[in-house]
């Protein structure tokens, strides 16, 4: 049996979509949550200095979207052909620009700059992306691509559960199609149970 | 015959890897270079407010990595299986974090902040990524993944040709494996000829 070990912090953010897909697949895996103080030392040893990592039978893989795209094939959450995968990849990459902006906020140290970026994300970045994502959901039967579930929904919904604590906004309160999608993802086999029993972390 | 139209600015940056792959494939395509003044109006109409776009038979696609991953299949520049694609995707996503940082610099307006970010990119970000990429190239027979050419090399080499003008650094001068790779990519059929005859833009 393939052995999976997720290495991340004790937060949801970019690790949670990987937890979602592994639970959806019914895989057992080690959900290792590294104490922040261990990270300083490990950071230099990790391929590109970032978590999450997924170990598959001891081999180390990095980058959450690459990990999800790979697992999605076995999970049946990829597209059926190149055109369907193209649609999924476009949404995931577009959303990645939003993730970059939030990551930048997360790493900022100067409190004044940080608060000013947070307000700008809420006022500009969130509406910019969410208006567009809502439109995509509306035109695609409630999904981001190909009118059916893919790893794009697990990635985006899983990540966005951290936004209330990260930047102080709950997208499900303001965006009805996204709320519907979140409920749908959180009702999926494996994920439904996980969402109920997962560690109660602020983000 | 499939009709391709690339919509980007009169620069290389994120459009150039798409030009590389289309030339590598021997495709004819319209290389539309939008005047900056037209962009203000178009920005709101474009899927996620960003260029490049690729029109394929009139249908609009966005996000350079998604476009490359799709074209790579026909070009024979994808992996042969899920594991090989995983290796390619990891490098592309890791490099994407570097691209995000440079894009942020590009968009910055305050000249003092901008210069300070530029210096930090050169002092910290570039060595951080390039040390790791050099190691990958060294261990993979001169390629980023699977010891053979893929769209990852076209993406990264094509993009990096803009760095001298963008942030004032020529990676081929400091990183020997990257220099070798750049020469190799610029000798590929279709790309060799394109590099000689392409518009002489600063970036």
Distance from CA of A196 to the nearest CA of B (A): 31
Mean of per-residue pLDDT scores for chain A: 97
How far, in Å, CA of A117 to CA of B26, rounded? 45
What does the pLDDT read at residue A44? Answer: 86
How far, in Å, CA of A55 to CA of B55, rounded? 38
Which of B43, B63, B146 would you mutate first to test chain A, the one with the most A CBs within 10 A? B63
B82 with A73: Cβ contact below 8 A: yes
pTM higher than the cut 0.95:
yes
B93 with A50: Cβ contact below 8 A: no
Which of B14, B64, B84, B89 would you mutate first to test chain A, the one with the most A CBs within 10 A? B89
Distance from CA of B82 to the nearest CA of A (A): 6
Distance from CA of A198 to the nearest CA of B (A): 28
Nearest to A66 among B48, B70, B90 (CB): B90
**What average pLDDT score do residues A83-108 get?**
96
Nearest CA in chain A to B72: A82
Q: Read out DSSP for B46-106?
A: STTS-S-EEEETTEEEE-HHHHHHHHHHHHT-S-SSHHHHHHHHHHHHHHHHHHHHHHHHH
Categorise residue A111: left if φ over 0, alpha if ψ from -120 to 50, beta otherwise.
alpha
Which of A90, A109, A132, A144 would you mutate first to test chain B, the one with the most B CBs within 10 A? A90
B58, B51 Cβ separation under 8 angstroms: no
Could you report the per-residue pLDDT of A103-114, keeping only the tens digit for each?
999 999 999 999
Distance from CA of A84 to the nearest CA of B (A): 10
Could you report the per-residue pLDDT of B131-173, keeping only the tens digit for each?
999 999 999 999 999 999 999 999 999 999 999 999 999 999 9
Q: Spell out the residues 6+ positions from residue A17 whose beta carbon is closer than 8 angstroms to its own.
A: A64, A68, A151, A154, A155, A156, A157, A158, A159
Could you report the per-residue pLDDT of A123-182, keeping only the tens digit for each?
999 999 999 999 999 999 999 999 999 999 999 999 999 999 999 999 999 999 999 999
Could you report the per-residue pLDDT of B27-86, keeping only the tens digit for each?
999 999 999 999 999 998 999 999 999 999 999 999 999 999 999 999 999 999 999 999
Nearest CA in chain B to A69: B86
B70 with A86: Cβ contact below 8 A: yes
Instruction: Please report the ipTM that was assigned to this predicted complex.
Output: 0.97
How far, in Å, CA of A111 to CA of A109, rounded? 6
């Amino acid at each position: 049996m393939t052995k999976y070990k997720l290495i991340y912090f004790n937060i949801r953010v970019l690790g949670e979509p990987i937890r979602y897909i592994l639970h959806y697949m019914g895989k057992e895996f080690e959900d290792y949550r590294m104490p922040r103080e261990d990270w300083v030392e490990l950071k230099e040893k990790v391929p590109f200095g970032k978590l999450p990592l997924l170990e598959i039978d001891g081999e180390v893989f990095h980058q959450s979207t690459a990990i999800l795209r790979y697992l999605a094939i076995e999970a049946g959450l990829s597209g059926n052909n190149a055109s369907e995968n193209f649609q999924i990849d476009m949404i995931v990459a577009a959303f990645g620009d939003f993730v970059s902006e939030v990551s930048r906020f997360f790493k900022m140290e100067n409190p004044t700059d940080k608060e000013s970026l947070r307000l700008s994300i809420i006022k500009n970045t969130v509406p910019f992306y969410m208006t567009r994502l809502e439109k995509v959901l509306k035109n695609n039967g409630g999904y981001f691509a190909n009118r059916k579930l893919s790893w794009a929904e697990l990635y985006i919904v899983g990540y966005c559960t951290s936004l209330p604590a990260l930047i102080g906004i709950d997208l499900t309160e303001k965006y009805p199609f996204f709320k519907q999608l979140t409920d749908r993802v959180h009702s999926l086999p494996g994920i439904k149970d996980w969402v109920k029993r997962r560690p109660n972390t602020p983000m």
